[in-house]
Amino acid sequence: MSDLRIQTLVLGAVSTNCYVLYHNQTKQAVIVDPADDAERIRRKCEELAVRPEAILLTHGHFDHIMAVTEIKKMYDCEIWAGWKEEKMLLDPSLNLTGFQGVKQVSIRADHLVHDNDVISLIDMEWTVLETPGHTAGSVCYYIESEEILISGDTLFEGSLGRTDLPTGSSSEIVRSIRDRLLTLPEDTMVYPGHGDPTVIKYEKKYNPVAVYYGRGGR
């Protein structure tokens, strides 16, 4: 049995999934998409007795980044994000912070990653998959050794991310899902930015992208 554990916190106004991935023995941890409520994230880390060493961002929308700055200060950990998302992270008018009473946030990532980069964190290798569509700089993180995909707002259970916000593209998200994600091994577990986990085998049969654009299970 793997030593990796995943804790999900559902945070913020639009129920965003923030993930804490950690080794049960070493207690090394990575936080993915610290959506909101840094104090709640801190309490969960304390409860698990883990110490985050990195923050990974799937994209730059407000509902995935509100607690980033506070978490970075708490744990002195570095921020990783897709290189095409740099402008969005820095610009509140693009990341949509400051709207509807939400505070403005501008974030500078410590590391900007590219397609197929391999990051070594908590003694595991995370492969970066560029998956534009929901935003131009959206990325997913694939841990091949654990058969895990962190899909952000690109791929959901039986669905896909919206494309009507800044830098979104319907054609790009279809291409990203069809060519980059549905080609992964069928047993890969998918942890999305909203909603329940799913598995690639299920998405190849039932996701609209597979049904209407190929990569289906037939």
Structure confidence at residue 100 (pLDDT): 60
DSSP type of residue 216: -
**Per-residue confidence (pLDDT) for residue 1, from 0 to 100:** 52
CA distance 70 to 12: 15
The pLDDT of residue 103 is: 83
Helical spans, DSSP H, in the chain:
38-48, 68-75, 86-90, 92-95, 170-176, 200-206, 208-213
The predicted structure's pLDDT at residue 23 = 94
The DSSP secondary structure of 154-180, one letter per residue, reads TEETTEE----STT--HHHHHHHIIII
Q: Tell me whether residue 99 is exposed, middle or buried, using C-beta atoms within 10 angstroms of its C-beta: 0 to 12, 13 to 18, 19 or more.
A: exposed
Tell me the residue type at 208: P
The low-confidence residues of the chain, meaning pLDDT below 70, are 1, 100-101, 215-218
User: Residue type for 123, please?
Assistant: D
